[in-house]
Amino acid sequence: MQIPVDITFKELDKSEALEARIHDWALKLERVYDRIVRCEVMIETPHRHHRNGRQYHVRVRLTVPGGEIVASHDPGPDGAHEDANVAVRDAFAAAKRQLEDHVRKTLKRGDIRPERNGAQHGRVTFIDVEKEWGWIEPDDGRRVYFHRNSVLGGVDQLELGDEVRFTEESGDEGPQASTVDPIGQHGHRGMPHAS
């Protein structure tokens, strides 16, 4: 499912290239949490007559079950947001961090419960050398692909044998995890060896 994305350009012309980047970022957020109801993005150039160059302000508002997440990045003094793509990246990075926190809190409260197609339990059985992707083995013995972008809190904290909760979806090459939440270690490191 692709979440609906509303994009508003204020005080600047519409850009199809920038819209495409925003949709790409929204897809990345959907991999973190697949229950996002709506994503609204507003890009504007505030009036600042005493500055040279155009600065961009970007606000990302996500509607999720139980509330909203709002991330906003104002132009800083360093001129980093004179590039609209950088401003969009920074706003979505902030939204992603807030969304990961939201998911962690809802998992702790039990608002997200394991269901047939919801969160499942598994163990990390493979992580590639560059930590870009890996495999999770659910309790039923299948193999589920995950990408580093789907790991809440970052892939660097994962090790072989770690237990995780994950949300599964169908990918181009089979089952894949859209969200991976590390829940701890169970003492096993690496794949079990057959005798």
Q: 69 and 156: one domain?
A: no
Specify the pLDDT at position 36: 86
pLDDT in tens, 139-159: 777 889 998 888 888 888 888
CATH at 101: 3.30.160.100
**Residue after which a domain boundary falls, among 68, 91, 109:** 109
pLDDT in tens, 44-101: 987 554 445 678 889 999 988 778 899 987 665 555 567 888 889 999 999 999 988 8
CATH at 135: 2.40.50.140
9 backbone dihedrals φ, ψ, rounded to 5° = -105, 125
Q: 105 and 10: one domain?
A: yes
**Residue after which a domain boundary falls, among 109, 137, 153:** 109
Q: 92 and 143: one domain?
A: no
Q: 68 and 147: one domain?
A: no
Phi-psi group of 55: left, alpha or beta (phi > 0 → left; psi -120 to 50 → alpha; rest → beta): beta
105 backbone dihedrals φ, ψ, rounded to 5° = -65, -40
Q: 128 and 95: one domain?
A: no
Helix (H, G, I), strand (E, B) or coil at 68: strand
Residue 131 sits in which domain range? 119-185
pTM attached to this predicted model: 0.54
Specify the pLDDT at position 77: 59
Tally of structural domains, the chain: 2
Q: 90 and 130: one domain?
A: no
Helix (H, G, I), strand (E, B) or coil at 3: coil
pLDDT in tens, 26-45: 988 988 887 888 899 999 98
Residue 114 lies in a domain: no
Residue 191 lies in a domain: no
DSSP string for 69-104: EEEEEPPPTT-GGGSHHHHHHHHHHHHHHHHHHHHH
